[in-house]
Chain A
């Protein structure tokens, strides 16, 4: 072992007897766990199975049943979407990822990006729903898996954002006590109850609220609940930005003789929103994870597809493999976003930090 490596070990793992003992104990536990997990997930794992036959996975001493994932991956990813048409949700998911990727670099943050998003979303919904360009119609009740998760999260944020800006401005409006009270009540009410209760409301109560004859698709109802939910949380993030702007900015806009909307639109919001971009990304990560709750009201998102798979008698009892796969997919998306948000925070603070 070379000198620098040895001194690194000394400084970071074996400085003092307490740290040495902690390091050794951790290494012992880690090694034990690693051997067990590697045995289950790799060495004893069953990688391929004959179609619809799980006998090999049920044999004594068999480890993880990855063959099950290999066979059911289409259902896991796309749910009950017609098998022959599954290139469509696959392409739609890829489009979503492409849209996220295009929106990430700061030099692309310009007006044209909005056009790209509108075109991208139109393509995605065209692909999923069909009825255009010779694609067969697939009703939303048959959509499932990853694209549903991506739709719920993305439209959730996009729909909630304008509402959230209005709520945040309303809560900050000094001279308008009635509007302010309404905004506070809305925000605190939504933040005080779990998302599930809103989803229940959307699934069982919304039909009662609407006049006879007007029905809304179940997926759409869940989407409305998610938008209303996200708006309250986003509003609080935006309010943070509004509050952290120096008062001089408000006064300067007043001094220029700008009216309320021009003051907000041209001076305050552009600065306030820029300040809160990192927490906005974090809110998006939270919402992305929260979309999995729609399973409870029976919508086929990614998690529900996995849950349905392991109800099949053939695959009964392989829940651990199925949920690990779903967890891995969610992790890839959320981890990428959280790293991005951390980097963004450093980038945006460059002008401020000395």
Chain B
């Protein structure tokens, strides 16, 4: 509707009543206020920095950091630069977020399905889990898990699990780890080749079904293409997989794959917390598909598996995916709570950097830029995906 027509065209009483002019006026006013406010803050900041003799800029990144980092996916020493320390922080953040997202998705799906189970006990247990997790702050949970891990016995007195191959101690969790061998690289390459072949096979199977109505065996072939080549390479190379088993030596446990208590507490906390939210989303998504859809698919003669795959899941996913994306983003942002329990994530490293150099503005800017990059890129991908699967109405 156009309000302008009331005032136009013959007699234009006043410029004050013109909706276009008013829009311009309000926008100029608001933008002016915002620019003025920002100007005032920047001027204050520049003045304060000058008074405190803090040199603005990112030059400090090239200086030697001088502090150690408990765990680093890439080689790092205190003699490295701040830039490298911050990069290690980003990698640690991405590591815990990526593993957390995978685990929370699996657990969350199980919880969501369990809440809809016809087994009363299972449904109630899943419900209680969700209520407890959602109503206690994540930070409290992290402290709880960390305190619990600190209460474990020292390595010297720790009992081994699964025939002394796994140890839960107050210095961390020790797991057996396969030893890296050159043949693994070839096996990985074979797996990649198998993956490509499987994708090609899938496309051809689809084309054939569209043309003839026959449905070539997809699952068996895909599994075969994915599993046989890498296993064959390993068998040909003649290397048995060696496992490095952790064992007590002196006062500590050596060997195997050592997971620090900080990482364990953060991962467990993030996973359990986020899984409760994802569980509710999955439950809502499944409930959102009406019963008629199941019945219609049955009437078409589809079996239960095909109904789930072709009819129900695509519709449920449409409801599930957008909120799940926000949960992934929330998990990534929540991983910044690592600073409270001492896991060296980006915020933690940046915090140390700020304390050492006094470059508060640059430090906070780096944190914000890193999270914004992750958030905005995940949202962009998900918005694109969402548009692709969205229902097209009218």
Answer whether residue B135 sits at the interface, using C-beta atoms and an 8 A cutoff: yes
Known: A176-B26, A192-B376, A293-B337. A208 touches B139 (CB 8 A): no
- How far, in whole Å, are A208 and B51 apart by their CA atoms in the complex? 10
**Residues of A with Cβ closer than 8 Å to B?**
12-13, 15, 19, 22-23, 26-27, 30, 175-179, 182, 188-189, 191-197, 200-201, 204-205, 207-212, 251, 254, 285, 289-290, 292-293, 295-296, 303, 306-307, 310, 317, 319-320, 322-324, 326-327, 330-331, 334-335, 338
Q: Is the interface of B mostly helix, strand, loop or mixed?
A: helix
Answer whether residue B202 sits at the interface, using C-beta atoms and an 8 A cutoff: no
Our pick among A26, A196, A285, A334 for the contact of B337 (Cβ within 8 Å) is A196
Known: A12-B118, A26-B122, A175-B19. A292 touches B151 (CB 8 A): no
Known: A324-B144, A338-B135. A317 touches B150 (CB 8 A): yes
- How far, in whole Å, are A289 and B340 apart by their CA atoms in the complex? 15
- How far, in whole Å, are A30 and B44 apart by their CA atoms in the complex? 61
Known: A178-B27, A197-B336. A192 touches B51 (CB 8 A): no
State the Cβ distance, A22 to closest chain B Cβ, in Å.
5
* Nearest opposing residue in chain B for A321, CB measure: B147
* Nearest opposing residue in chain A for B366, CB measure: A197
- Judge whether B23 and A175 touch: CB under 8 Å: yes
Answer whether residue B41 sits at the interface, using C-beta atoms and an 8 A cutoff: yes
State the Cβ distance, B299 to closest chain A Cβ, in Å.
25
Our pick among B138, B340, B351, B360 for the contact of A208 (Cβ within 8 Å) is B360
- Judge whether B147 and A310 touch: CB under 8 Å: yes
- How far, in whole Å, are A338 and B340 apart by their CA atoms in the complex? 27
- How far, in whole Å, are A175 and B22 apart by their CA atoms in the complex? 10
- Judge whether A208 and B361 touch: CB under 8 Å: yes
How many residues in B have their beta carbons less than 8 Å from beta carbons of A? 60
- How far, in whole Å, are A332 and B364 apart by their CA atoms in the complex? 35
Our pick among B122, B131, B143 for the contact of A323 (Cβ within 8 Å) is B143
Our pick among B44, B125, B150 for the contact of A209 (Cβ within 8 Å) is B44
* Nearest opposing residue in chain A for B335, CB measure: A194
- Judge whether A179 and B30 touch: CB under 8 Å: yes
Known: A26-B125, A175-B19, A178-B31. A208 touches B136 (CB 8 A): no
- How far, in whole Å, are A331 and B333 apart by their CA atoms in the complex? 22
Q: In the assembled complex, which residues on chain A have CB atoms less than 8 Å from the CB atom of B360?
A: 200, 204-205, 208
* Nearest opposing residue in chain A for B119, CB measure: A19
Which residues of chain B from 342 to 394 have any CB-CB distance to chain A below 8 Å in the complex? 347, 351, 354, 360-361, 363-364, 367-368, 371-372, 375-376
Our pick among B3, B49, B121, B131 for the contact of A13 (Cβ within 8 Å) is B121
Answer whether residue B304 sits at the interface, using C-beta atoms and an 8 A cutoff: no
* Nearest opposing residue in chain A for B369, CB measure: A193
- Judge whether B122 and A22 touch: CB under 8 Å: yes
- Judge whether B336 and A210 touch: CB under 8 Å: no
Known: A23-B121, A209-B41, A307-B143. A192 touches B372 (CB 8 A): yes
Answer whether residue B47 sits at the interface, using C-beta atoms and an 8 A cutoff: yes
- How far, in whole Å, are A193 and B376 apart by their CA atoms in the complex? 10
Known: A193-B368, A331-B135. A12 touches B333 (CB 8 A): no
Q: In the assembled complex, which residues on chain A have CB atoms less than 8 Å from the CB atom of B260?
A: none
Enumerate the 8 nearest inter-chain pairs by beta-carbon distance, A residue then B residue, closest first.
Answer: A319-B147, A12-B120, A334-B135, A289-B137, A192-B375, A194-B333, A204-B360, A178-B27
- Judge whether B118 and A19 touch: CB under 8 Å: yes
- How far, in whole Å, are A290 and B336 apart by their CA atoms in the complex? 13
- How far, in whole Å, are A307 and B340 apart by their CA atoms in the complex? 11
Q: In the assembled complex, which residues on chain A have CB atoms less than 8 Å from the CB atom of B30?
A: 178-179, 182
Q: Is the interface of A mostly helix, strand, loop or mixed?
A: helix
- Judge whether A200 and B351 touch: CB under 8 Å: yes
6 interchain pairs, CB-CB under 8 A: A182-B30, A193-B371, A193-B372, A200-B347, A254-B3, A323-B144
Q: In the assembled complex, which residues on chain B have CB atoms less than 8 Å from the CB atom of A179?
A: 26-27, 30-31
State the Cβ distance, A66 to closest chain B Cβ, in Å.
15
Q: In the assembled complex, which residues on chain B have CB atoms less than 8 Å from the CB atom of A335?
A: 131, 135
Answer whether residue B45 sits at the interface, using C-beta atoms and an 8 A cutoff: yes
Q: In the assembled complex, which residues on chain B have CB atoms less than 8 Å from the CB atom of A204?
A: 354, 360, 364
- How far, in whole Å, are A290 and B136 apart by their CA atoms in the complex? 10
Known: A179-B27, A317-B150, A331-B135. A196 touches B361 (CB 8 A): no
Our pick among A15, A30, A188, A208 for the contact of B49 (Cβ within 8 Å) is A208
Q: In the assembled complex, which residues on chain B have CB atoms less than 8 Å from the CB atom of A292?
A: 137, 139-140
Our pick among A12, A23, A293, A320 for the contact of B139 (Cβ within 8 Å) is A293
Known: A26-B121, A335-B135. A210 touches B347 (CB 8 A): no
- How far, in whole Å, are A176 and B141 apart by their CA atoms in the complex? 45
State the Cβ distance, A150 to closest chain B Cβ, in Å.
14
Given A27-B121, A200-B354, A200-B360, 7 more pairs with CB closer than 8 A: A200-B364, A205-B360, A208-B361, A209-B44, A317-B150, A330-B135, A335-B131
- Judge whether A330 and B51 touch: CB under 8 Å: no
State the Cβ distance, A10 to closest chain B Cβ, in Å.
11
- How far, in whole Å, are A52 and B140 apart by their CA atoms in the complex? 25
Contact with A along B135-166 (1 / 0, CB 8 A): 11111110110111011000000000000000
Which residues of chain B from 9 to 28 have any CB-CB distance to chain A below 8 Å in the complex? 19-20, 23, 26-27
State the Cβ distance, B158 to closest chain A Cβ, in Å.
17
* Nearest opposing residue in chain B for A24, CB measure: B121
- How far, in whole Å, are A211 and B131 apart by their CA atoms in the complex? 47
